[in-house]
């Protein structure tokens, strides 16, 4: 469909005022088609000439690689038809654009008039409403020197528009913009040439549409390239070693850090050859562990902070890597299997070293604290006994009743000593937790096995905790006939004690606590169910970590250093059992549980 074109002149009768140059230009273009009315041969020649002309124009538009080349091709094609002052291209878009392509210098008032006419014409065709101010903001000049046409001084000096032509630019019946031609002279745009002008506009529209697509594509490429460079720089400057593995388990890319690590460990790995094949040829002891991590990630698992000890360096701790591996999924594909894996290896040797020093410090300090603590405990006990004896005698000799007895200075001393004793007990518990921590860390948690009844042990623990938990009622629920077990009595007592203590501590409003003994396959299952504050989901994975305490009102109120559950876990696991917890249904409290193998023979 040929879009409607508008030809307007500056005067009432345009034909009457065409100047010499305009006539010359029109003659040049008319010469191509004037033969149409002549003989058959003349007409054939004219058709050939017209086709050659269209072909040349078409080629120049096809060859245009960007909008500026399109402007030149357009200008050349139009200048073959008319001689004019300026050509403007208004393109839709967000924001829209206006290119002003003058053929010779134009005056400010000419420009202003052009903008006003473009606005008027744009508002007539299917174009979003535009104002002169908006056009001023988006307009840019593209004045190609080589095609600029200089005119007589008289024409250049003209400040008024004599004639103009507006043609919608369409691609597939979609209006993408508008082409406007302007001249100082009246009647420049010969209506006989409208069809040809429309065809040139069509070529230009397609070429501009393609150029804008190409521009957008180039911008995307540039953006992608920028991102790629940024990523490359980030990877290069990373202190962590990074490996990118493909679905066949071959390294496809590795950063500098990883290269250095492999070099220093004398590992010779080639890109694009499956890791498994290559690792068989290497004698490095830790490569199978890395391979295992990669295999698991390729199977879809995400591995976080898995440590690999890669060798002795004569330091306090061996060189240790913490490995994270994440499967890569192709989001555009329906395949669930990962298309690769990203592996990050982080050297954690120095933090291990700091941890080791800290552990040693804790171990030494707790050992050193034990001796004075034993002395304080012993002497306090001795003093308590002496005062108690004296008070007994005073009561017997002087026949004092309780009120009078409480007012004696010895009674005051006894109360103070009782406080010293309870605080010493607390300190002793902390010191023994710290000592246990050192033992667990060094793998020296020795167990002294004996055979006993689990029901008796639980009853003993319940009794002892109940004595200092006035707000709570602790029930014992034994659902097993034979509770015979072979284990370390003191250590299991410690586990139950820690869990029960916590059940009391973390249910500050009191309530019921149930200690249940059940059978679970070949294991005993011990559960401690409380009605306390529960554990928020974000702490689930950390509760059994050393020194981990949830920060809440209850933990601020009650003393603790976050070691009870850590040590309990180590004890249960060294008995071959499991420990865990879950929040009770309806959000009331927590159930901590652990399992112990039945009275099977366990060697100590």
Interacting residue ranges for ligand ADP, rule: CB under 6 A: 498, 502-503, 506, 530, 532-535, 543, 548-550, 555, 560-566, 590, 592
Q: How far is the CB of 488 from ligand ADP (least distance, A)?
A: 19
Return the DSSP state at 191. Answer: G
Angle 216-217-222 from CA coordinates, rounded to 5°: 95
Q: How far is 173 from 170, CA to CA, in rounded Å?
A: 6
**Closer to ligand ADP at the Cβ: 323 or 503?**
503
**Closer to ligand ADP at the Cβ: 144 or 534?**
534
Q: How far is the CB of 320 from ligand ADP (least distance, A)?
A: 25
E-only strand ranges, 78-122: 86-91, 97-102
Q: How far is the CB of 476 from ligand ADP (least distance, A)?
A: 17
Helix, strand, coil share (%) of the chain residues, nearest 5: 50, 20, 30
Q: How far is the CB of 362 from ligand ADP (least distance, A)?
A: 15
Cα dihedral 187, 189, 194, 199, rounded to 10, equals: 180
Q: How far is the CB of 567 from ligand ADP (least distance, A)?
A: 8
Chain centroid to CA 450: 53
- Residue by residue, DSSP assigns 450-487 as EEEEHHHHHHHHHHHHHHT-TTEEEEEEE--S--EEEE
**Closer to ligand ADP at the Cβ: 10 or 562?**
562
- DSSP β-bridge partners for residue 363: none
Q: How far is the CB of 485 from ligand ADP (least distance, A)?
A: 23
Query: In what order do the strands lie in the sheet containing 251-254?
Result: 251-254, 241-246, 340-347, 319-328, 303-311
**Closer to ligand ADP at the Cβ: 249 or 532?**
532
**Closer to ligand ADP at the Cβ: 273 or 559?**
559
Q: How far is the CB of 335 from ligand ADP (least distance, A)?
A: 42
Distance between first and last Cα of the chain: 96
Return the structure tokens found at 269. 């790995």
Which residue has the CB atom at the shortest distance from ligand ADP?
A: 560
**Closer to ligand ADP at the Cβ: 107 or 583?**
583
Return the DSSP state at 584. Answer: P
**Closer to ligand ADP at the Cβ: 408 or 550?**
550
Helix (H) or strand (E) holding 180: strand 174-183
E-only strand ranges, 274-403: 303-311, 319-328, 340-347
Chain centroid to CA 14: 68
- DSSP β-bridge partners for residue 451: 486
**Closer to ligand ADP at the Cβ: 506 or 593?**
506
**Closer to ligand ADP at the Cβ: 338 or 560?**
560
């Amino acid at each position: 469909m040929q879009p409607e074109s508008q030809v307007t002149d500056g005067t009432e009768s345009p034909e009457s005022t065409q100047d010499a140059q305009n006539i010359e230009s029109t003659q040049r273009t008319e010469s191509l088609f004037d033969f149409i009315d002549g003989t058959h041969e003349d007409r054939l020649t004219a058709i050939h000439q017209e086709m050659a002309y269209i072909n040349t124009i078409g080629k120049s538009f096809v060859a245009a690689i960007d909008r500026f080349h399109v402007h030149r091709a357009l200008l050349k094609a139009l200048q073959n038809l008319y001689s004019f002052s300026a050509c403007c291209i208004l393109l839709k878009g967000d924001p829209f654009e206006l290119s002003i392509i003058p053929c010779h210098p134009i005056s400010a008032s000419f420009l202003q008039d052009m903008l006003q006419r473009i606005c008027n014409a744009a508002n007539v065709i299917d174009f979003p409403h535009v104002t002169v101010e908006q056009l001023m903001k988006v307009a840019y000049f593209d004045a190609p020197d080589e095609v600029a046409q200089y005119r007589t001084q008289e024409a250049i000096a003209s400040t008024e528009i004599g004639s103009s032509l507006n043609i919608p630019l369409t691609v597939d019946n979609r209006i993408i913009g508008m082409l406007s031609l302007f001249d100082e002279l009246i009647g420049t745009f010969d209506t006989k040439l409208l069809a040809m002008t429309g065809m040139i506009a069509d070529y230009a529209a397609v070429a501009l549409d393609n150029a804008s697509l190409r521009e957008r594509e180039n911008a995307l490429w540039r953006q992608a390239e920028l991102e790629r460079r940024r990523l490359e720089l980030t990877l290069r400057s990373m202190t962590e070693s990074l490996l990118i593995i493909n679905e066949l388990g071959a390294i496809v890319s590795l950063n500098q850090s990883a290269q250095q690590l492999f070099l220093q460990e004398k590992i010779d790995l080639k890109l694009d050859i499956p890791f498994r094949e290559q690792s068989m040829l290497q004698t490095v002891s830790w490569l199978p562990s890395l391979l295992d991590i990669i295999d698991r990630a390729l199977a879809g698992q995400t591995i976080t902070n898995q440590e690999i000890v890669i060798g002795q360096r004569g330091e306090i701790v061996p060189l240790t890597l913490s490995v994270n591996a994440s499967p890569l999924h192709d989001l555009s594909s329906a395949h669930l299997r990962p298309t690769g894996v990203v592996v990050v290896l982080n050297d954690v040797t120095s933090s291990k070293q700091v941890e080791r020093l800290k552990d040693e410090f804790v171990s030494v300090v707790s050992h050193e604290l034990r001796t004075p603590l034993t002395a304080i405990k012993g002497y306090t006990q001795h003093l308590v006994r002496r005062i108690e004896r004296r008070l007994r005698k005073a009561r017997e000799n002087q026949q004092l009743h309780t009120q009078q007895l409480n007012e004696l200075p010895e009674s005051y001393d006894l109360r103070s000593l009782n406080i010293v004793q309870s605080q010493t007990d607390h300190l002793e518990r902390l010191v023994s937790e710290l000592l246990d921590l050192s033992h667990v860390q060094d793998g020296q948690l020795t167990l002294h096995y004996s055979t006993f009844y689990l029901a008796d042990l639980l009853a003993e623990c319940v009794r002892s905790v109940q004595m200092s938990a006035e707000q709570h009622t602790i029930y014992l629920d034994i659902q097993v006939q034979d509770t015979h077990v072979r284990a370390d009595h003191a250590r299991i007592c410690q586990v139950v004690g820690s869990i029960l203590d916590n059940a009391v501590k973390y249910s500050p409003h009191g309530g019921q606590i149930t200690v249940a003994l059940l059978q679970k396959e070949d294991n005993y299952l011990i559960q401690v169910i409380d009605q306390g504050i529960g554990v928020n989901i974000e702490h689930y994975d950390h509760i059994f970590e050393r020194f981990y305490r949830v920060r809440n009102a209850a933990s601020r109120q009650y003393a603790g250093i976050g070691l009870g559950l850590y040590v309990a876990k180590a004890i249960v696991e060294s008995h071959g059992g499991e420990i865990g917890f879950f929040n009770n249904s309806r959000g009331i409290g927590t159930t901590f549980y652990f399992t112990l193998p039945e009275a099977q023979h366990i060697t100590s």
